[in-house]
């Protein structure tokens, strides 16, 4: 069983930055493909960023160039650095881990383990 705990959410003005850490069970970030998803009220869940066991990354077009996914395997922490935030980035952000997850497809169904989420609110 993989435990994932997100933190770092909050309220920020448009143009600002936030960094979301996700603390994972031991060895999880080394053994699994990891992703960040987000879910806003009235919208479908969206895959935001993914990183595989070799460190290759992929991003949704909506955040490419503004968000950066990274991991610290020694500390078992996944990060999402968010810059140039926009009101449309407002959502609950979740980290997820999956043995069969693909950074190419970023499908939620391929990720078995999920955190409880952290709320990000971006005001204009």
Q: Each residue's pLDDT tens digit in the chain (124 positions)?
A: 899 999 999 999 999 999 999 999 999 999 999 999 999 999 999 999 999 999 999 999 999 999 999 999 999 999 999 999 999 999 999 999 998 888 888 999 999 999 999 999 999 9
The confidence score (pLDDT) of residue 101 equals: 84
Q: What helix, strand, coil percent values describe the chain, rounded to 5?
A: 10, 45, 45
The confidence score (pLDDT) of residue 102 equals: 86
The confidence score (pLDDT) of residue 85 equals: 98
Q: In this structure, is the dihedral angle defined by the CA atoms of residues 114, 69, 72 and 54, taken in order, positive or negative?
A: positive
The confidence score (pLDDT) of residue 100 equals: 83
* Alpha-carbon dihedral angle through residues 91, 110, 34, 86, given to the nearest 10 degrees: -20
The confidence score (pLDDT) of residue 99 equals: 87
99 backbone dihedrals φ, ψ, rounded to 5°: -70, -30
Question: Contact at 8 Å (CB) between 51 and 78?
Answer: yes
The confidence score (pLDDT) of residue 103 equals: 87
Question: Contact at 8 Å (CB) between 104 and 58?
Answer: yes
């Amino acid at each position: 069983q993989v435990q994932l705990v997100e933190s770092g959410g909050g309220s920020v003005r448009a143009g600002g930055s936030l960094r979301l850490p996700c603390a994972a069970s031991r060895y999880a970030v080394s053994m699994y493909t990891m992703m960040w998803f987000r879910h806003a009220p009235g919208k479908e869940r969206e895959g935001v960023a993914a990183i595989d066991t070799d460190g290759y990354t992929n991003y949704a077009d909506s955040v490419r160039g503004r968000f950066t996914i990274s991991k610290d395997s020694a500390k078992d922490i996944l990060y999402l650095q968010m810059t140039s935030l926009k009101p449309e980035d407002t959502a609950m952000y979740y980290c997820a881990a999956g043995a069969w997850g693909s950074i190419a497809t970023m499908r939620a169904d391929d990720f078995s383990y999920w955190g409880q989420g952290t709320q990000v609110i971006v005001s204009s």
